[in-house]
Amino acid sequence: MGWDLGLDRVNRVATALNVKHPAGTVILVAGTNGKGSCCEALNTLSMEAGLKTGLTTSPHIHQFSERICIGGRPVEDEEIVAAFDHIEKARGETTLTYFEFASLAALVIFESNALDVAILEVGLGGRLDAMNVVDPDISVVLPIALDHQEYLGDSREQIGAEKAGILRPGQPAVVGDPDPPQSLVQAAKSASLAAHYGKEFGWEGHRLWWSRDGQILEATVESPKLPPTSLAAAMQTAAILSWPVTPAKLPSLELLGRQSIVRIGGKTVLIDVAHNPHAVGRLKEKISEWRASNPSADVLAVLGIYRDKAVDDIASLLAGVVTKFYCSEVAETRALSKDRLLDALHKKRLEAEALNTIGAALEEAMVRSEQNDLIVVFGSFPVVGEALNYFHNLSLE
């Protein structure tokens, strides 16, 4: 099955498997951007507190096992296969999508490992996402932006209402959007404790602050590599759960494909999974910072994107920032064809060239760039995956 939003089927199977609360504490994380970063921070803070922790995220870059980690390590393939077999036996005549199988597999594995904490990233939306069958102890919603409009709605208010579907009346909630839509604010009022970015916690300059038992605590934190909103939300969540932790490790946290820097052949490559205007706006800030220090250098971008993304808005954001685009497509039905992508870039009067594969586009950018130029690879998780595979193969030559 492909997309089939709704919880009836997956809820029946989750109930049969008894996996709706797969750990001592269950944290459910949603939002348009920054979910993976927040989950990574929560995972680090939880393990720092000495807790046995499971983390499931979506999608993966290289292999499926990246989606399901315990103690910071991907579980073995054999354990995933066993979980799928368990689900297959339990589902009976109930049909499940790929995403539902993946979500249930993580829950089955976590349930069988006697975890203290399970950190669960929502894939699409919130209200109707397969992961929303669980009974969370606390829910976290990161910044809301326009994405997946065909499923979630055409405005931030509509999308906010969908993301707010992970909140539970009487349970704590952390709202990590600096400017949350009112639909999310209203939903958070049903929480027993609602912490809002910019009120109970936040990050400004080098100052991180959070609240615990009605007191505001703070720390000086320099130059984080992951989005500050995500890290602040994770710290506030840890405070609500009374974990004995500090934010000392947060600035050094990295997550593959989130503004990752790769240096190969003496050249600098910035790799980011950014695929919507909100995320690309943050990428633009990073590129602009680099250009300020390298005013005479060029920025060459390798881009591949899904056809349901706001390619015109993304192109407009990067006009005057990127010198030239090398565009292509990944081998997926959702991919925007390289020719349509090229047309969209040309309509914005941007210099662009289409190539047959992401690897070919990246190779062309590498060849055409000078040593002090910046190469940027972005647009989707598969694009990042293909770029990393290209670099891996290049290192073996």
**Residue 150 pLDDT level (bands cut at 50, 70, 90):** low
Per the prediction, the chain carries an average pLDDT of 89
Whole-structure pTM value? 0.86
262 phi-psi bin (left φ>0, alpha ψ -120 to 50, beta other) = beta
Higher pLDDT, 233 or 330: 233
Of the listed ranges 24-28, 43-47, 123-127, 353-357, the least confidently predicted one is 123-127
Rounded Cα–Cα distance for residues 36 and 57 (Å):
7
Q: Of all residues in the chain, what percent carry a pLDDT higher than 90?
A: 59
Q: What pLDDT shows up at residue 2?
A: 46
| Mean pLDDT along residues 190-215 | 92
Burial degree of 142 (CB within 10 A; 0-12, 13-18, 19+): buried
Average pLDDT over residues 187-214: 92
Over residues 203-214, mean pLDDT: 92
pLDDT range class, residue 137, cuts 50, 70, 90? very high
For the record, the structure tokens of 171 come out as 């349970």
Residue 293 carries which side chain, given as an amino acid letter? Answer: S
The answer on pLDDT for 152 being more than 70 is: no
Residue 60 phi, psi dihedral angles, 5° rounding: -100, 165
Is pLDDT above 90 for 132?
yes
- Under the banding of pLDDT at 50, 70 and 90, the label for residue 134 is very high
Query: Which of 20-29, 89-98, 264-273, 299-308 has maximum average pLDDT?
Result: 20-29
pLDDT beyond 80 at 230: yes
Q: What is the pLDDT of residue 144?
A: 86
Sheet holding 202-204, edge to edge: 202-204, 207-212, 215-220
Instruction: Provide CB contacts within 8 A for 48, sequence distance 6+.
Output: 243, 245, 249
Tens of pLDDT along 186-198?
989 988 999 999 9
Helix or strand run (H / E) with residue 6? none
Is the predicted pLDDT of residue 46 greater than 70, yes or no?
yes
Q: Structure tokens of 343?
A: 């047309």
pLDDT mean over 87-108? 94
Binning pLDDT at 50, 70 and 90, where does residue 396 land? very low
Which residues fall within 8 angstroms of residue 373, CB to CB, at 6 or more apart?
A: 267, 268, 297, 298, 299, 300
**Cβ atoms of 115 and 53 closer than 8 Å:** yes
DSSP string covering 296-364? T--EEEEE--BTTS-HHHHHHHHTTT-SEEEE---SSTTBPPHHHHHHHHHHTT--EEE-SSHHHHHHH
Domains and CATH numbers, the chain: 8-252 (3.40.1190.10), 260-396 (3.90.190.20)
Confidence at 334, pLDDT banded by 50, 70, 90: confident
Q: What is the pLDDT of residue 126?
A: 65
Q: Is the pLDDT reported for residue 373 higher than 90? A: yes
Query: Is the four-CA dihedral 348, 345, 276, 292 of positive or negative sign?
Result: negative
Nearest in space to 126 (alpha carbons), one of 175, 179, 91: 175
Instruction: Determine the longest span between alpha carbons in the chain, in angstroms.
Output: 63
Closest CA to 238 of 169, 140, 171: 140
CB 9 within 8 A of CB 94: yes
Average of per-residue pLDDT across 230-255: 94
Q: How many CA atoms lie within 13 A of 370 on its CB side?
A: 8
Question: Which of 78-82, 284-288, 302-306, 334-338 is the most confident on average?
Answer: 78-82
Q: How far apart are CA 243 and CA 42, in angstroms?
A: 11
What per-residue confidence (pLDDT) applies to 394? 67
CA 144 from chain center: how many Å? Answer: 12
Poorest-pLDDT segment among 40-44, 61-65, 302-306: 61-65
